[in-house]
Amino acid sequence: MRRSLPDARIPLMPALKIALLLLLTAACLIGWIGAAAALALGIAFALLFGNPVPQLSRWGSQLLKATVVLLGFTLPLAELWATSVDSFWLTAGVIATTMTAGLLLGKLLGIERPLATLIASGTAICGGSAIAAVAPTIRAPQQAIVVSLAIVFLLNAVALLIFPPVGHYFGLTQTQFGIWAALGIHDTSSVVGAATAYGEDAMQIATTAKLARALWIIPLVLVLSFSRGEEKFKFSVPPFILLFLVASLAGTFIQPIAELAPLLITIAKTGFVIALLWLGASLHREVLRKLPLKPLLQGIILWLLVSTTTLLLVMTFY
């Protein structure tokens, strides 16, 4: 029998829902709500009232990408290069291990190969972006894409809430936490949100390491294409990553931009918080109702394996 969630939504007029969402957005804008609280309030809003704005998910995603690009203006190229090189082999090892463990776990649990591959890819690299890139390569059905995205979203929300307290408990430095967040959390939104809550240095390191990790989409898609015997393959680097690099280049060589770094960081932090609120509020209860148990179990086990292993590695070598 399929599990179902009781419908506890509170009936409100659409105008009132939008007004309440605008009030929460204003609270984020003036700094009353932090990153973790914003995502939690957004999810609570979606579960209680439903999403009053169909475009909210797209707006949240676009705002997140814009703020990541904005942050690029504050990160010099030399710093980006140093962080990327420093975590290169650790990132490569984590991605390879995660993909292998994810596919084996999917086989043990009897999960269809396309769905297991999407969950493993989303966990290994960059959540929704990796799933979107891999799905056409392996010809994944639409249902598998929806399920994998929902699992990644839920685990992202959990990670955003628990990573900062865990980091403080173990006394992680800004560098340690930034690298751990970049490797142990799926999507860029939650990586940056968790790192922002931990500290400005952690946010910059996490953003850089996370975007470097996202570039591994390209070799992953190549490997999956060759494994299927495809003569043609498609892949795309998320445009906001390229814009982030261009912004870093501008911030490195254009002095007036560098002088605006403190203001740009403040604006970026505020944008992250609002984006997390909107992404949380765009959650659909219907998707949660339809989540199969075995894929959810695969996602949880794989994420726990990655997050705990990377934590130990970061504490040992950084």
- Looking up tokens 């605008």 gives 22
Q: Where are the domains of the chain?
A: 14-317
Q: What count of Cα atoms within 13 Å lies in the side-chain half-sphere of residue 5?
A: 14
Q: What is the mean pLDDT of residues 142-170?
A: 90
pTM exceeding the 0.85 threshold for the entire prediction: no
The yes-or-no verdict on residue 229 having pLDDT over 70 is no
- Specify the long-range contacts of residues 107-112, CB closer than 8 Å, at least 24 apart: 109/294, 109/295, 109/297, 109/298, 110/294, 111/294, 111/295, 111/298, 112/144
Dump pLDDT digits (tens) for 29-82: 998 998 878 888 988 898 888 888 888 888 988 888 888 888 888 888 887 788
Dump pLDDT digits (tens) for 103-120: 999 999 999 999 999 999
